[in-house]
Structure formats: C-alpha cells, structure tokens
Amino acid sequence: MRVVLPIAVALLALVLAGCSQTQSRYSQRHDSAPTRLPSDAELQDAIPVQEPPSPQGNADYQVLGQRYQVLDSAAGFVEQGIASWYGNKFHGHLTSNGEYYDMYSMTAAHKHLPLPSYVRVTNLDNDKSVVVRVNDRGPFHPNRVIDLSFAAAYKLDMLDQGTARVQVEAIDFKAPLQATEFYIQLVASSNPDKLQTIAQQLPTAWRSDATTEQNGGLYKLMLGPYPQAKANRHLQQLRQQGFPRAFRVKVESAKNLQNSPR
C-alpha cells in the first residue's frame, strides 16, 4: 500500500488533534509527518498481553478545564467516532503512562481506557483494522475518540484524510493466552552513548541481558528475553530500583535487536 501524504491536510489534522502534553515540551511548534513510511515489521499488529496497570496515567484527570474519568476495566468497551493520528512532534517524548512515544509502534491515545489497554480499531469506510496498545491520553479535540500512532494510521489507510470514522473495541482476554517471552524496556533516547553508559552501570546479572533496539532515530535499552512470570518479577524490581517507567515488550514485537556493548 503506497500513500502520498498531503502534508497540509496531515498537519492540520494533527494540530487539531492535540495530546495530553503541553507545547513547551517539544522542539516542534506543530506536528508533522515523518520522512519515511513504516516497514513491514512495523505494520504488524500489537500482540495483546495481560499487563499490570501502568504506575501512572490511571487516575482521573483534568485537561483544559474538563475532567475525565478513567475506566476501571476495558472489558466490553466498544465505541464509534472519529480517529486522528500524531507523529514527529511527539516522537521520543513521554506518554501519559511514562513510556516513550514511538510513531512507528502500534500504539494509541485514549481519554478513558486504562493504561495499558489493547483495542482493535476498524476503519468503517474501508473495513481495514489494526490492534494497538493504548498507552497515552488524548485526543482532546471535540468529537475525536482515539489518537493513533503514525504506523497504525498508515495501516488503516487514513493518512490522506487525516481522520477516519472508526470503531474501537477492547480485546477480550477471556480466551487462554499462549505462553510467550518478553523484553523489558528500561529507557529510550536519541543518544546511543547515553544508553551504553546506563547499560554499563547495571548490576552484572542484568548487564548480561542488555540489548539495544534502534527504531526511527530512537534507541531503546532492553533486558531479556524472559518468560512472562520472570519478566513480571524483574519489571517490579526494576521499577523500584531506578527505572519507574520500565515496561514489557513482547518478543515478537521487538524488531532489529542488536547486542549492546557489554
């Protein structure tokens, strides 16, 4: 699928979309489309896994004078409305749950769903769908129900229009989940030397498990892979020992991993 982006339309949609963070934090005044399209690997759906609630981003909150309530559970959640997307301006910056936004990952922002949640988003105009991991708050534009990453919007073929009529449906976790392994992402930065320094300062047991991933100019320091139970234990330890924003990444979702310097 090849898309030629009408930049003026895309920028207008993104400016109107808005996110949960203030402009002063960003180097760009307005959002923009990236210079490359997602790869085949980046267009794979997010793989739903049962995760503990994020350590932040799950309390009721207020934006622009309006209060928003966060749902206790995503179970049974379905809604229809207008989707938008966000890109370069927010790439590499913190999301509402303390992770780092990657416009080439299958993620999304939602006003009410618990963080993280997994939802299937279907473009009602062409029946294309994508599974995304909700890890951010927004959009705070009237009549918008979800803000999608650039990769997710590309997969839904909505970039030309900037927005799309969609259905958002939470993934049902009642079905048994297959055994899997996870990486734990500790930190992300545009500076690979910074990650190397952090990796060298890790305890020996964790240092030997360290790997780095590079994606669209953003480098990520990760540990693993670990079985799910071990990943959960390590995640809690890491959050208590200097990495409060650490989170899990399913092995199949971590692409282009390279061994980091030991």
**What digits encode the pLDDT tens for the residues 89-119?**
677 778 999 888 888 899 999 999 999 999 9
- Average of per-residue pLDDT across 78-91: 86
Residue 195, helix vs strand vs coil: helix
- pLDDT at 161 > cutoff 80: yes
Look up the pTM and report it. Answer: 0.61
Range in 25-39, 152-166, 213-227 the model is least confident about:
25-39
Provide the pLDDT confidence category of residue 35 given band limits of 50, 70 and 90: confident
> Please, what are the domains in the chain?
7-170 (2.40.40.10), 181-259 (3.30.70.1070)
Provide the pLDDT confidence category of residue 257 given band limits of 50, 70 and 90: very low
- Average of per-residue pLDDT across 12-16: 37
Query: Using omega within 30 degrees of 0 as the cis cutoff, is the peptide bond preceding 116 cis?
Result: yes
More confident site: 12 or 81: 81
Provide the pLDDT confidence category of residue 30 given band limits of 50, 70 and 90: low
- Average of per-residue pLDDT across 10-30: 44
Provide the pLDDT confidence category of residue 253 given band limits of 50, 70 and 90: low
- Average of per-residue pLDDT across 42-62: 92
Instruction: Report d(CA 159, CA 165) in Å as an integer.
Output: 13
- Average of per-residue pLDDT across 11-29: 44
Q: What pLDDT, on the 0 to 100 scale, is given for residue 4?
A: 32
- Number of other CB atoms surrounding residue 169 within 10 Å: 18
The partner residues of 188 in beta bridges, in order of sequence, read 220
- Average of per-residue pLDDT across 44-57: 91
Q: What pLDDT, on the 0 to 100 scale, is given for residue 176?
A: 53
Query: Using omega within 30 degrees of 0 as the cis cutoff, is the peptide bond preceding 225 cis?
Result: yes
Q: What pLDDT, on the 0 to 100 scale, is given for residue 152?
A: 96
7-40 b/e (C-beta count within 10 Å ≥ 16 → b): eeebbebbeebbbbbeeeebeeeebbbbeebbee
Q: What pLDDT, on the 0 to 100 scale, is given for residue 20?
A: 40
Across the chain, mean pLDDT equals 81
What percentage of residues in the chain have a pLDDT greater than 90?
47
From the centroid of its chain, how far is CA 114? 13
Q: What pLDDT, on the 0 to 100 scale, is given for residue 241?
A: 84
Q: What pLDDT, on the 0 to 100 scale, is given for residue 223?
A: 93
Provide the pLDDT confidence category of residue 11 given band limits of 50, 70 and 90: very low
Q: What pLDDT, on the 0 to 100 scale, is given for residue 56?
A: 93
Query: Cα angle vertex 37, ends 129, 161, to 5°?
Result: 55
Q: What pLDDT, on the 0 to 100 scale, is given for residue 97?
A: 92
Element (H, E) at 191: none
- pLDDT at 6 > cutoff 80: no
